[in-house]
Amino acid sequence: MLELGKVEVAATLGALITVIGVLWRMISAWYEKEAKRLIDCEKKHSDVQGVVVDLTGRINLLTGRMEGVESLSKSVLKAIEESNTCKKSPSCSRTDSQLLQ
């Protein structure tokens, strides 16, 4: 069997402790790097989420305006159509200002 002296055991323990220390430093450095990266990512996510909320509000506003414009254009077209129909009919007594109301 292999017999180890005090010097060999001490050297082996020293090497093992050194390897553990190096690995611990590597893991600690990696953890710090990933923690910073995670914080940056969460900040960017928060910023993007704020932009999405802002854009959603703008889209809703523009959609409402578009629906208002469409409604107004339909009522104008209807009034023009009624005006043209009324002008062709001799029995119509409505004026143009009454048709636009």
Task: Say how far apart CA 44 and CA 38 lie, in whole Å.
Answer: 10
Residue 28 has pLDDT above 80, yes or no: yes
Question: Residue 79 contacts by C-beta under 8 Å, 6 or more apart in sequence?
Answer: 99, 100
**Interval 66-81: pLDDT, tens:** 999 999 999 999 988 8
User: Where exactly are the structural domains of the chain?
Assistant: 9-82
Task: Say how far apart CA 22 and CA 88 lie, in whole Å.
Answer: 97
Q: For the beta carbon of residue 28, count every other beta carbon within 10 angstroms.
A: 10
Mean pLDDT over all residues of the chain?
88
Supply the pLDDT for residue 20: 98
Residue 100 has pLDDT above 60, yes or no: no
Buried b or exposed e, range 60-96, using 16+ CB within 10 angstroms = eeeeeeeeeeeeeeeeeeeeeebbeebeeeeeeeeee
Average pLDDT over residues 42-46: 96
